[in-house]
Structure 1
Amino acid sequence: MGSPSSLEVEDLRWSWAFAGLVLGCGAVLIFTPIYLVLAAAALGLTGPAVFQIAGHRATGARFASLGLGVLIPAAVGAVLVGINSF
């Protein structure tokens, strides 16, 4: 790792990203993809903010991983909605 305040790929928790992927696949059936993209972005951006706090680095990595996992199906749904609007 570089500086103590930077979040890198090695810090991500891939089990949390997979859990976010499963959660996102279920949530895309309930919520509109645009709102889900906004929620995933909020989760993903909360991760680096929390990661900078010295005692909460693992929690920040979990938030970033969960946001990344939710963003994958949300982005696919948003692209499909955008293509369908043509």
Structure 2
Amino acid sequence: MASARRMAKPAGEWNQARIRVEGPHVEHWLNGEKIVDIVRRSPEWARAVAASKHADVEGFGMAREGHILLQDHGDAVGYRKLEIRRLFAD
């Protein structure tokens, strides 16, 4: 999968991100490239959370519904055109 760091646009330009969650399956797309494809509660998920700054947060990312987390990494950040849509099966 593509590296998020490599796919991100330079400072001052907008990135386009899409996150799709279907059951435990999570995909994250950045500027048209899939950068995350993971299943919550999988060994891969546990390793990723353990290696993150959220390792000490009990049950991080396990809620089936609720709030979303928007984060920065210490720099100024802006968001625009945020949409949250519930997708229904046909």
Same fold (TM over 0.5): no
TM class by shorter-chain length? under 0.3
* Larger relative strand fraction: 2
* TM-score normalised to structure 2 length: 0.21
Query: More relative contact order in 1 or in 2 (CA 8 Å, sep 6+)?
Result: 1
